[in-house]
Structure 1
């Protein structure tokens, strides 16, 4: 039920209130509702989904019910050993063990009791595949595609994907679709797949503002929203948490919410679960915890202001320490759209790791392995910049690389370049010297870097940064490349192209310290009664390390399961015999009238 705040009675009572309707928050609300709790889900923006809606929706859960279908030899013990090597003392081992134990339970429970469905990605390596205990498949789950038409007018509540990741005015495509679209002139199977996609999208655009075939993160959010509405969870949009109310024991017993100038005090019997997305857009904490990272480089959704953290810290919560980084990172390119908004494009895997690509600093020199994980890439940019100007860095290719792999927002094929050249997003030159001059970088350094990468392409061995030496790196190369290393190819066919790269924070790694049930703990290491955290509001169990795909959504789902169920159980013992109107929290007929304003 999507309501307005004015439709709730003053001091309306709920068993569980979840702050933040991203993937973790929606999951926590759903788990609590499955256990019979009366749940209120509060979102500060006009959309549900948070940054999850922008993402691939990949969820890292070792030893799930789906894993054996693609990797029967994996186990939770293997994953635990892998995380011990990858993360070590940067996070609490007991919390990691809780994650590994409860993760498969969370997947099984949500699939058995809702419309959320996953499958194992057939081939999706752990990012630190060189470490013992890593796998090439089985731990990365992806949501099944979802038909957004099932939501009716509530489809408009889902945060749309990043436009630059869609085609034809809002048609979502996943990695399988991209392969078929690129091969539709070469394969009958791909042609059939592409025709089916295009026909569906054409029909959608007759009745909907964008495509309703949802994949990746949008599919996960669509399935969560459908499940929440089916269970009649109360949802408030554009609503801000103003204060937390504590009782004599110091535990959280309620809150004040504000929407369009209206305020309501809400009573909570089981718990408040913070899932507001992290601190990334908190102006003060961003300056101190992410120094030098311009907010305009952040590709995340706008709701993660950290304002809920201020309230939690004020009643005794604390931030975790010891993480490799306070945030997770990816190299991004930035472009001003025609409507005045800013497009921030994460370079996850489609270009920088392919043959015929290299990245240089302002001296024209390579300074990292282009095929490393996006998180380590972002960290390496910042570390290098402390010695030599490396922000922005420059992703360089030639005519063949651009045509085959694209370059950031420029799609493969090499056509339609004029707008990107006109606004400066893409730089083109007939020679490397000319390209260096246009970019303002050292020409001799660039020439040397290209000469070295061309030699490495011939031998297959990157003597500078060992590019293409791990299973993960090679998986992100070009499987059809004829050279000795799928990640290394020559650069030499004019014209030459480049885009500027910046380190963009894609999520918080540092968050509120919580225990194995998701309960926020205070400075005395004791739980603060009635206060929970999950998702990026909780200190990462990965300790700021990014060992595999979906290591934010996996723990997000797991601790949503633990927190949601614990808060629901806590409410069962405290539930009073309230009158039906007070229990539902609805103020009579106003609900139906005000609901139309939101929808």
Structure 2
């Protein structure tokens, strides 16, 4: 479409109010641009709102100030070793060199605040340049009451990430809540959380003490309101407007089907969340058989990728491994009758006394590996032996102690979960094997071999407990290996797990400033992409916690700066680049709708 009569003019139009889109809109507004943020749903946050909210930012100053020794230069060694000759080295260098600067900018000028995770190992600790501490940061807890009635605009986490029907708890809260009767301090802490939640429910549909990805989304939204950035809810970008000089705007469809032409003097940023809910793209980019389950927001239907493709953008699935970043999920039936996936990220698989087996009754992976690597092993094994779904096997006592998927630690009555079909319980391993369709003799042999490893503390087959990540997620009180314990006492338990993506990795090719590249490798003037609409820089690898949100924020920052005429140089990581002076504070109170 070209030379329309515009209904509205802005400097920058951003499509999608997920983490990347909100960050791009926020930075652009702080740099003086007139910004319009379009969101086709009625809530902000997208998939980020249900995530752990971690960002992988090597060399970040928050961790360095806390005493953790790390640098972008070390991470560059790690990423190069991980990716080999894959991916775009220039984009990785831009990411590493700009990451700390982008975070400092947000910390200085917005309410988007982060704290260091401390110890949080990279996922491939055996590779040179890997770090155990210092690279992961998380958003500070946010008080949703600051948003007033607009707190309802923040997409909530999945129900299973909340307790008492609406109270969020973070990883650090869990031991105190479980040990609430073990000390006065724990009891007082737990009581404060519960009282706060009870007070919240008098005014809100859920608790307002938000953590993890929900805190990141709420902080971005709160900052956008303070910066007076208008957000057009229920509005989608249907078509890009192109002229001789590139993309000059877009046609938006608002509620009721009305079309509005918006001129974007500085460009359009595509940040619609990726292709996860687009069946055609799933079939094109994902492994076969195409996984049916997804943790992505329902609105992530590939709108940005379609818009970019129609504008002549380059999409390169061959550069992005299996097309997505993965986690094993179990499927549970909720109280309303719906079924939902629960991600087995880090709380159960690495614990001692659990194994994963395929349909042949054999182990096929280090159960304590990262969620992405676990599913990659499922795909690989499934080529020769049915391994989708796989089964997590443990004792019922394991579930009571550590939890299993959506079953919280400390749960003593497993019968409701068995009756609903979420788990399978059986008095013997042979009976369990028959119930999950596995050869009983094979499962018995697998468990016996595993129990031998538990006795010595050394897993000779897959090395469970040998890497920093699995030990970090194991039980430090258990010896000699925090990830290995025998499976001997019935009743025994199994839960079925399937692959599901937490984010798509195939997207629009861009340069280091997130400018979308055409088929000829040149930037399409006026068109940017970030978040999952942008092809991942990780070349099919998953280096550590926050692999998707880190690049989403950093390249949103670079895109906004480029649009504002303040392009950032991209020196090699570790060359002393100090970033920008970021002292100005945002102001204002409200946002407006289109």
TM-score by length of 2: 0.93
- C-alpha separation between the residues in 2 aligned to 1:62 and 1:541? 15
Match of 1:197 in 2: 193
Please give the per-residue CA displacement for 1:478-532, whole angstroms capped at 9, x wherever unaligned: 1121x21000011112111111000111111111110011100111111101100
Q: Is the 8 A contact 1:166 1:173 kept in 2?
A: yes
Q: Match for 1:371 among 355, 368, 381?
A: 368
- C-alpha separation between the residues in 2 aligned to 1:331 and 1:542? 20
- C-alpha separation between the residues in 2 aligned to 1:549 and 1:561? 20
Match of 2:522 in 1: 526
- C-alpha separation between the residues in 2 aligned to 1:387 and 1:453? 22
1:487-506 to 2 correspondence within 5 Å?
487-506=483-502
Q: Is the 8 A contact 2:424 2:435 kept in 1?
A: yes
Match of 1:24 in 2: 20
1:235 aligned onto 2:224: no
| Alpha-carbon distance, 1:362 to partner | 1.0
- C-alpha separation between the residues in 2 aligned to 1:22 and 1:298? 17
1:102-181 to 2 correspondence within 5 Å?
102-181=98-177
1:252-331 to 2 correspondence within 5 Å?
252-292=248-288, 296-320=292-316, 321-331=318-328
Q: Match for 2:336 among 334, 339, 364?
A: 339
- C-alpha separation between the residues in 2 aligned to 1:431 and 1:546? 38
- C-alpha separation between the residues in 1 aligned to 2:172 and 2:504? 29
- C-alpha separation between the residues in 2 aligned to 1:537 and 1:204? 36
Q: Match for 1:397 among 375, 386, 394?
A: 394
Q: Is the 8 A contact 1:297 1:334 kept in 2?
A: no
| Alpha-carbon distance, 1:295 to partner | 5.8
Unaligned stretches of 5+ residues in structure 1: 1-8, 572-590
Aligned with 1:27: secondary structure?
Answer: helix
Please give the per-residue CA displacement for 1:443-483, whole angstroms capped at 9, x wherever unaligned: 111111111111111100111111111111111111121x2
1:463 aligned onto 2:481: no
Match of 2:216 in 1: 220
Please give the per-residue CA displacement for 1:284-340, whole angstroms capped at 9, x wherever unaligned: 111121144656411121121102211211111011342232110000001232323
Q: Alpha carbons of 1:400 and 1:416: their partners in 2 closer, same or farther (altered >3 Å)?
A: closer
Match of 1:4 in 2: none
Match of 2:348 in 1: 351
Match of 1:587 in 2: none
Q: Which moved more, 1:9-18 or 1:380-389?
A: 9-18
Q: Is the 8 A contact 1:26 1:224 kept in 2?
A: yes
Aligned with 1:26: secondary structure?
Answer: helix
Q: Is the 8 A contact 1:122 1:137 kept in 2?
A: yes
Match of 1:575 in 2: none
- C-alpha separation between the residues in 2 aligned to 1:152 and 1:258? 25
Match of 1:578 in 2: none
Q: Match for 1:388 among 362, 370, 385?
A: 385
Please give the per-residue CA displacement for 1:184-233, whole angstroms capped at 9, x wherever unaligned: 22233322221111111111112211000011111111110000011111
Aligned with 2:254: secondary structure?
Answer: strand
Q: Is the 8 A contact 2:251 2:259 kept in 1?
A: no
- C-alpha separation between the residues in 2 aligned to 1:420 and 1:236? 42
Match of 1:406 in 2: 403
Q: Alpha carbons of 1:325 and 1:291: their partners in 2 closer, same or farther (altered >3 Å)?
A: closer
- C-alpha separation between the residues in 2 aligned to 1:484 and 1:28? 48
Q: Match for 1:441 among 438, 442, 445?
A: 438
| Alpha-carbon distance, 1:257 to partner | 2.9
Match of 1:588 in 2: none
Q: Is the 8 A contact 2:267 2:563 kept in 1?
A: yes
Q: Is the 8 A contact 1:74 1:135 kept in 2?
A: yes
- C-alpha separation between the residues in 2 aligned to 1:329 and 1:104? 26
Match of 1:69 in 2: 65
Aligned with 2:331: secondary structure?
Answer: strand
Q: Is the 8 A contact 1:33 1:231 kept in 2?
A: yes
| Alpha-carbon distance, 1:102 to partner | 0.9
| Alpha-carbon distance, 1:71 to partner | 4.2
Q: Is the 8 A contact 1:241 1:257 kept in 2?
A: yes
Unaligned stretches of 5+ residues in structure 2: 568-589
User: Alignment RMSD, CA only?
Assistant: 1.8
Q: Alpha carbons of 1:568 and 1:292: their partners in 2 closer, same or farther (altered >3 Å)?
A: same
Q: Is the 8 A contact 2:44 2:217 kept in 1?
A: yes
| Alpha-carbon distance, 1:10 to partner | 5.6
